Amino acid sequence: MGAGKFSLGSGRKKDRSRLRSVPEIGSRSSVVWPVTVEDFSVDVRFDCFLAVATEMVVIVNAQDREVVFAAPCKTVVGWTVLQSNASVFYQLIFSVL
């Protein structure tokens, strides 16, 4: 029997060692929490949204939708949570929230 007009391959399984894609890595979405931010310089509190995405941490004022804070995730060095207060430390010396 000769080779047919429509070849179905050699019969061997192809190497399936390709990396599987993770859709969350390339997405432009974030995880968002409502927070209250305190500006210690003028002793004022205002409601905001804390958004953590793949590459950025952003705080947006809930009332006027202005960006209050934005930093690349790679500059965030840690955070603390005590009762209802949280601090995010970035660039080794600053904190926000």
Instruction: Give domain status of residue 60, yes or no.
Output: yes
Q: pLDDT tens for residues 12-31? A: 555 555 555 545 555 578 89
The closest of 23, 21, 20, 51 to 35, measured between CA atoms, is 51
Collect all residues with Cβ–Cβ distance below 8 Å to 33 and sequence separation of at least 6.
49, 50
Q: pLDDT tens for residues 22-58? A: 455 555 788 999 998 888 888 889 999 999 998 888 9
Instruction: Give domain status of residue 4, yes or no.
Output: no
Instruction: Give domain status of residue 15, yes or no.
Output: no
Q: In what order do the strands lie in the sheet with 44-53?
A: 30-39, 44-53, 56-61, 67-72
Instruction: Give domain status of residue 37, yes or no.
Output: yes
Instruction: Give domain status of residue 75, yes or no.
Output: yes
Query: Could you give phi then psi for residue 23, rounded to 5 degrees?
Result: -65, -25
Predicted TM-score (pTM) of this structure:
0.62
Instruction: Give domain status of residue 19, yes or no.
Output: no
| Number of structural domains the chain divides into | 1
